[in-house]
């Protein structure tokens, strides 16, 4: 079975729609700026990829992750030509921090907070009448995990249309603890470059409408891309560090579910979080997976798929980052254009054999894309999407 992506919406530091974000990525435009959310004197790292939408500069406000989620879902529904009424439509939201920032502001500064503000069903009910709502707090693999659950729902006949989304706003405790833990102080997120010093957070939300493919072709029905499969698993190895074995397993599982060989993949949207540990692990696994071997389909022997990492310009948008990569993949497949990895000049050794797009956007004829997303708790997800022409 395959699943159609019929609507897309997204907001991030570099743009307020999927098209704006894609254009910024292709132009090599980053959302990096001085940290606006918190008192910078308390932190070592003083850069982030925030959405600059606070009413009063320098004063943080609650509810931003929820606000962007509503925007992204509304965009996706409009894009799909669907009414903004989700009474019968499941909405699956992947997030790392939920409304953690709102909880911090409540605790520290006394801004109002109700227990019901902590999960996104409350706002989705108010805005779209949705009740089949699920907040999956699945770290930075969350939105691709949510996509996997959506494909299962449709395959089981429990829904024909599902909205899948992701959202996160930067939180103090998460940003601060990461800052405390990273040995170096990154001034930018530079995935796979030898100069990478670690992860910097970004903000954003993303949503897609996933639909069962119609039994008969429907003229005029627009499909951005087709989901072939999503694999999910857990390393059960380390609380925060990636495990090459678990990542290898999830990538091969995604290929198997999609019925494709590694050699069929034309584009990989890397997790690429810019931590030395992620970059060497992910690059090492992909170098092995995409090493040409017997059984590879046509297209193998050309050096493997093109690869890029949008976090080099959006920062790590946490729970929504996997789905944001998928939206970018859908646009890349359609336009035959792949944004570069910003700031990549000297790849780490493990990435030496990978076709990472550098400096400027690449053009290519693309059919199949793989999207990676890995998170704390050792959880991994990999999706395979196909171009629709």
Partner 1 sequence: MTSAAQTAHRTSGNPEVVISGVGLAVPGITFPDELLGAVREGGFDPHTGLTGREMRHKDRASRLALRAAEPALRDAGLHDGKAFTGDGDTTAVVVSSNFGILDSVCAFADVIARDTVTGLSPLGLPQTSSNVIAGSVAMRHGLRGPSLTLCNGPGSGLDAVYWARGLIAAGRAETAVVIGVEPSGDAVTKLLGEPVFDGAAALVLEARDRGARPRAVIGAGAYARGADPSVAVAAALGGRSPASVSLWLPGEDACGAPGGAPAFDLTGRLGRCSGALGVLQCAAAVAYFDRRPDEDAAVLASAGGPADDAAAALLLTAP
Site for partner 1 in 245-274 (CB under 8 A): 246, 249, 252-253, 256-257
Q: How far is Cα 143 from Cα 342, in angstroms, rounded to an integer?
A: 24
Q: How far is Cα 189 from Cα 316, in angstroms, rounded to an integer?
A: 8
Work out which of 2, 17, 195, 233 binds partner 1, going by CB under 8 A: 233
Nearest to 308 by CA among 346, 334, 344, 280: 344
Q: Which residues of 20-29 are buried (b: 16+ CB within 10 A; e: fewer)?
A: ebbebbbebb
Q: How far is Cα 112 from Cα 95, in angstroms, rounded to an integer?
A: 21
Q: What is the DSSP string of 122-172?
A: HHHHHHH---SEEEE--GGGHHHHHHHHHHHHHHTTS-SEEEEEEEE---H
The minimum distance between CB 152 and partner 1, in angstroms, equals 4
Map residues 132-171 to x or -, x wherever contact with partner 1 holds by CB under 8 A: xxxxxxxx-----x--xx--xx-xx--------------x
Position 41 contacts partner 1 (CB under 8 A) = yes
Work out which of 173, 345, 360, 363 binds partner 1, going by CB under 8 A: 173
Do 76 and 9 meet the contact criterion of CB atoms below 8 Å apart?
yes
Give the number of residues in contact with partner 1, rule: CB under 8 A: 71
Do 376 and 239 meet the contact criterion of CB atoms below 8 Å apart?
yes
Map residues 347-376 to x or -, x wherever contact with partner 1 holds by CB under 8 A: ----------------------------xx
Nearest to partner 1 of 133, 308 (CB atom): 133
Work out which of 50, 79, 172, 279 binds partner 1, going by CB under 8 A: 172
Position 125 contacts partner 1 (CB under 8 A) = yes
Output DSSP code: residue 16: S
The minimum distance between CB 30 and partner 1, in angstroms, equals 24
Stretch binding partner 1 (CB under 8 A), from 212-220, 235-243, 272-280, 359-367: 235-243
Work out which of 239, 294, 298, 301 binds partner 1, going by CB under 8 A: 239
């Amino acid at each position: 079975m395959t699943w159609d992506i019929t609507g897309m919406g997204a907001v991030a530091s570099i743009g307020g729609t999927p098209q704006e974000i894609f254009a910024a990525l292709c132009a090599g435009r980053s959302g990096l700026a001085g940290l606006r959310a918190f008192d910078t004197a308390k932190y070592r790292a003083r850069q982030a990829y925030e959405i600059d939408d606070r009413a009063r500069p320098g004063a943080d406000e609650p509810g931003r992750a929820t606000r962007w989620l509503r925007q992204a879902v509304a965009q996706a529904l409009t894009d799909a030509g669907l009414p903004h009424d989700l009474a019968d439509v499941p909405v699956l939201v992947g997030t790392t921090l939920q409304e953690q920032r709102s909880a911090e502001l409540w605790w520290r500064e006394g801004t109002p907070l109700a227990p019901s503000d902590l999960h996104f069903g409350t706002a989705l009910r108010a805005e779209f009448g949705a009740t089949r709502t699920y907040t999956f707090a699945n770290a930075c693999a969350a939105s691709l995990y949510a996509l996997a659950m959506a494909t299962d729902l449709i395959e089981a006949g429990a829904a024909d249309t599902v909205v899948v989304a992701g959202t996160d706003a930067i939180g103090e405790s998460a940003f601060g603890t990461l800052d405390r833990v990273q040995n170096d102080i990154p001034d930018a997120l530079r995935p796979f470059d030898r100069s990478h010093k670690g992860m910097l957070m970004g903000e954003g939300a993303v949503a897609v409408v996933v639909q069962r493919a119609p039994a008969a072709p429907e003229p005029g029905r627009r499909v951005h891309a087709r989901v072939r499969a999503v694999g999910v698993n857990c390393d059960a190895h380390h609380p925060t560090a990636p495990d090459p074995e678990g990542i290898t397993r999830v990538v091969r599982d995604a290929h198997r579910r999609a019925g494709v060989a590694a050699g069929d993949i034309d584009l990989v949207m890397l997790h690429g979080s810019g931590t030395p540990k992620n970059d060497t692990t992910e690059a090492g696994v992909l170098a092995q997976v995409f090493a040409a071997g017997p059984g590879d389909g046509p297209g193998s022997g050309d050096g493997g798929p093109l690869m890029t990492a949008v976090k080099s310009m959006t920062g790590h948008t946490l729970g929504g980052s996997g789905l944001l990569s998928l939206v970018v993949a859908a646009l890349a497949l359609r336009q035959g254009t792949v944004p570069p990895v910003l700031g990549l000049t000297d790849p780490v050794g493990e990435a030496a054999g990978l076709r990472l797009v550098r400096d400027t956007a690449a053009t290519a004829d693309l059919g199949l894309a793989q999207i990676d997303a890995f998170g704390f708790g050792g959880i991994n997800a990999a999706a395979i999407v196909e171009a629709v022409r």
